[in-house]
Amino acid sequence: MSRHWLMKSEPDAYSWDDLVEQGEGIWDGVRNHRAKNNLAAMQEGDTAFFYHSNIGLEIVGVVEISEGGLTDPTDPTGKWAAVKVKPKQKLRHPVTLKQIKAEPRLADCELVRQSRLSVAEITPAEWEVILEMSKG
């Protein structure tokens, strides 16, 4: 049973378009324990929303975990986790943070509850709600 996630990136540093251009990206540099636990729990085939923080403040696409269980190559101590992701589909309409906060069914999601968490889990129900919203 695959799980769902949400991964934040500042588009200035790494945007959806950057990922599409490269075909596959490694998600590293996470230095938060809760986010790391989420990264470490990801398995190949899981899917994740790609969220633009700071600029945009919206979910722009869906990525698939292409390789899980990696150690962060940018971390000399080898304690932190990383995964590889591939772009799967761009949302027809981005789902903004504003919309997410206005949706009662999403009030409990990790993104809303702990806004600074860079890698959050999305429940199957929340996943469906967001996908539905992206269809406009």
Q: How far is the CB of 10 from DNA (least distance, A)?
A: 6
* Residue among 44 and 108 whose Cβ is closer to DNA: 108
* Residue among 79 and 93 whose Cβ is closer to DNA: 79
Measured CA to CA, the distance from residue 19 to residue 16 in angstroms comes to 5
Interaction pattern, residues 104-123, with DNA; x per rule: CB under 7 A? ---------xxxx-x-----
The yes or no reply on residue 53 touching DNA (CB under 7 A) is yes
Q: How far is the CB of 135 from DNA (least distance, A)?
A: 22
* Residue among 40 and 97 whose Cβ is closer to DNA: 97
User: Percent helix, strand, coil in the chain (nearest 5)?
Assistant: 30, 35, 35
Whether the CB-CB separation of 16 and 8 falls below 8 Å is answered with no
Cα 123 to Cα 20, 56, 72, 74, 130, distances in angstroms: 25, 23, 26, 30, 11
Q: With H, G, I as helix, E, B as strand and everything else as coil, classify residue 90.
A: strand
List of residues contacting DNA (CB under 7 A): 8, 10, 31-34, 53-54, 57, 97-98, 101, 113-116, 118
